Amino acid sequence: MAPPLLNLDGLFLTFGGTPLLDGASLSVTPGEKIALIGRNGSGKSTLLKIAAGQIEPTDGEIFRQPDATLRYLPQMPDFEGFDTVEAYVESGLGPADDHWRVAYLIDHLGLAGSADPSTLSGGEARRAALARLMAPEPDILLLDEPTNHLDLATIEWLEDELARSRSALVTISHDRRFLENVTDAVVWLDRGMTRRLEEGFAKFEDWRDKLLEEEEAAHHKLGRKIEREQHWIVHGVSGRRKRNMRRVDELAELRKQHRERRGPQGSATIEASEAEASGKLVIEAKGLSKSYGDQPIVKDFGIRILRGDRIGLVGPNGAGKTTLLKLLIGELEADSGSLRHGTNLDVATLDQRRAALDPDMGLADWLTGGRGDQLVINDQPRHVISYMKDFLFSPEQARTPIRELSGGEKARLLLARTLAQPSNLLVLDEPTNDLDMETLDLLQELVANFAGTVVLVSHDRDFLDRTVTSTLVPEGDGRWTNYAGGYSDMLAQRGSRPFKAIGEGKASQPKSSPTATPPRAEPRKKSAKLSYKQQFRLEKLPGEMETLNAEIEKDETKLARPDFFSRDPDGFNALAKKLEDTKQKLAAAEEEWLELEMLKEELEG
């Protein structure tokens, strides 16, 4: 095994009270891709900053290869002294690095090289920082939530870029699909300690659950041992006094271990306050159009949203997802077309910009609107402290100003207030930002089981697959198409067609004007593995073939019934035709699977 480029061992860090890190370790060897996993507030970002040399631990050993290059993705990049984005990105290069990477990364991350860095939005600033640290292809990349503010096309590009990169990677992310596609090992930071899984993220959750079950069983066993020892002390036959005192001391130590055990952090309890059911028709749009200047955002759009539908909006940044969302709920007026809302509609909206948060208010006052200490959830009064605990806030945080909260805490607080409003239509704009995976799981379950209607915008592919019943996608020039199913279903229906951002379909200027790409850039576009979409089809086809086989077996059984034809000749003929069509679909799926398998073997061979 290659010697580590970076090795952190026995790290201890406390800010008073319970240690944030208590024996944590992290080892990174050349080329490996590690997912750093843990709850919000567990110390993941702190551990990454220690690795980057930005924070010193209270205790522990730190080793970095002297000649190894390391780059860390900051939350807020410093643009001081740089007139253009291109100059900022170039400043990350070393003397021997290739300058073609700057133009390549600026273009693929959707930035304008000539833009003034001080005018960038938060998301653009983060993408510029990502370009700057990736440009020199360092030995180690340390990325804290790299997919935040990236659209789906850019996330998929970043996955492919990181998977092919020679750089070792340690990344924090809540995006399951991103972690599954990029990482080959997992470091789990839990209660100040780290445990490592030498497999990709796809195996993490089963492994974690098994460890927690074993830990709980060991804790229960310790409790039983304490009971036996205590019974011996009280009722056992006295032996030599020295032996008895040793047993007493051992019992005291066992009690201390049992008492001081830090159990797993509690889970959030997410519940939506539901209003009375709306009418069957929730939203009906006909011929909606909206343009800004001569640029169409929505053009001749129509849809019928019924009670119980869960609609997901996806697409590139700038494609108009939030604009379409506001048109549908009537918050924004269309240039033309008609919009009709159903009866008895109560709307609760979650805004990705968090504009509703008042930084000077305390948590409890903001949740109640400054009206006492009670909330009403599903017609039942709840004390605000009790409701805060459901979202993992401590009673001590009740008077904490919102400005002092972390990004994850702000996301949970906004979610808590949104779900406290009685509603039968949830409108969620990027609800997954900054949520840890456990809270994200609960939100997925809530959305999937919500009795009303949900319209949401998200770049989280796994979240979309688990929640929505149809997916709206921009096709360019203001045209939108509604596909049945989640994100993966939409991809299967669209084939290989890419998303189109605003302005595509017309002759337009590139986002930046880099110099011509040197010849070296071309080989990097070739990949010795299947593309993302080919890999997706290869993984999905066995399930499709199994479903088709089951359908064929069911239809053949039904056709074999002796009285079927005499009882229903039309039904018999229709089913026979359907069976033939299903067999053709199965043959096509088997052929596609075989071609992809052969291609995979050829590429890997």
Q: Which of 260, 295, 327 is the last residue of a domain?
A: 260
Instruction: Judge whether 516 lies within some domain.
Output: no
Q: How confident is the model at residue 590 (pLDDT cuts 50, 70, 90)?
A: confident
**pLDDT by residue (tens digit) across 254-292?**
566 655 555 555 556 677 777 788 889 999 999 999 998
pLDDT of residue 492: 87
The CATH number for 384's domain is 3.40.50.300
The annotated binding site is made up of 38-45, 315-322
Q: What integer is the mean pLDDT of 491-517?
A: 53
By residue count, the chain amounts to 605
Asked whether residue 185 falls in the same domain as residue 55, the answer is yes
Give one DSSP letter per residue of 470-518, joined into a string: EEEEEEETTEEEEEESSHHHHHHHHTTPPP--TTBTB----S--PPPPP
Give a yes or no: residue 505 inside a domain.
no
Does some domain include residue 270?
no
Q: What is the DSSP-derived secondary structure letter of residue 401? A: B
206-210, 300-304, 357-361, 573-577: range with highest mean pLDDT: 300-304
Determine the average pLDDT of the residues in 74-100: 88
pLDDT tens digits, 464-478: 998 999 999 998 889
pLDDT at 521: 36
User: Does the CA dihedral 339-342-344-350 come out positive or negative?
Assistant: negative
pTM above 0.85, yes or no: no
Both tokens of 102, joined, read: 């700057």
Same domain, 370 and 413: yes
Any idea of the CA torsion for 515, 521, 522, 524, to the nearest 10 degrees?
-150
**Sequence ranges of the binding site for ATP:** 38-45, 315-322
Q: Report which secondary-structure segment, H or E, holds 594.
A: helix 569-604
| Mean pLDDT of the region 227-244 | 54
62: Cα separation from own chain's centroid: 30
Q: Is the pLDDT of residue 403 over 50?
A: yes
If asked whether residues 23 and 146 sit together in one domain, one would say yes
- The residue-averaged pLDDT of 1-12 equals 90
Lowest mean pLDDT among 26-30, 132-136, 172-176, 212-216: 212-216
Closest-CA residue to 177 (of 197, 196, 150, 195)? 150
Residues 182 and 217 in one domain: no
pLDDT attached to residue 225: 65
Q: Residue 584: is it exposed, middle or buried by C-beta count within 10 angstroms (0-12/13-18/19+)?
A: exposed
| Average pLDDT for 520-546 | 64
- Which tokens is 323 given? 């604009």
Q: Which residues pair with 26 in a beta bridge?
A: 8
Among 141-145, 403-407, 583-587, the range of highest mean pLDDT: 141-145
On whether residue 561 sits in a domain, the answer given is yes
Judgement on whether residues 323 and 459 belong to the same structural domain of the protein: yes
Do 79 and 178 reside in the same domain of the chain?
yes
* pLDDT the model gives residue 505: 44
Of all residues in the chain, the percent with pLDDT exceeding 90 is 35
Same domain? 415 vs 450: yes
In a domain, 518, yes or no: no
Is position 306 within any domain?
yes
Q: What SS3 class is residue 62? A: strand
CATH number of the domain enclosing 558: 1.10.287.380
Pair 184, 222 in one domain: no
Residue 509's pLDDT is what?
38
* Domain with 36 in it: 6-205
Q: What domain count does the chain have?
A: 4
- Give the chain's mean pLDDT: 82
pLDDT of residue 525: 38
Distance between CA 299 and CA 287 in Å, rounded? Answer: 7
266 found inside a domain: no
Regarding whether 178 and 211 lie in a shared domain, the answer is no
Question: In 3D, which of 131, 138, 63, 75 has the Cα closest to residue 103?
Answer: 131
Q: Tell whether 253 is covered by a domain.
A: yes
The DSSP bridge pattern shows strands 479-484 and 470-476 to be: antiparallel
* 97 plus 177 within the same structural domain: yes
* CA–CA gap between residue 26 and residue 62 (Å, rounded): 10
- Sign of the CA dihedral with 230 first, then 232, 236, and 238 last: negative
State the pLDDT at residue 223: 66
Domain boundary (205, 233, 250) is at 205
pLDDT in tens, 239-253: 444 445 565 566 566
Cross-strand bridge partners of residue 197: 186
pLDDT at position 297: 92
In this structure, the answer to whether residues 313 and 247 fall within a common structural domain is: no
> Which pLDDT tens digit goes with each residue over 147-175?
887 888 888 899 999 999 999 999 999 89
Residues 25 and 97 in one domain: yes
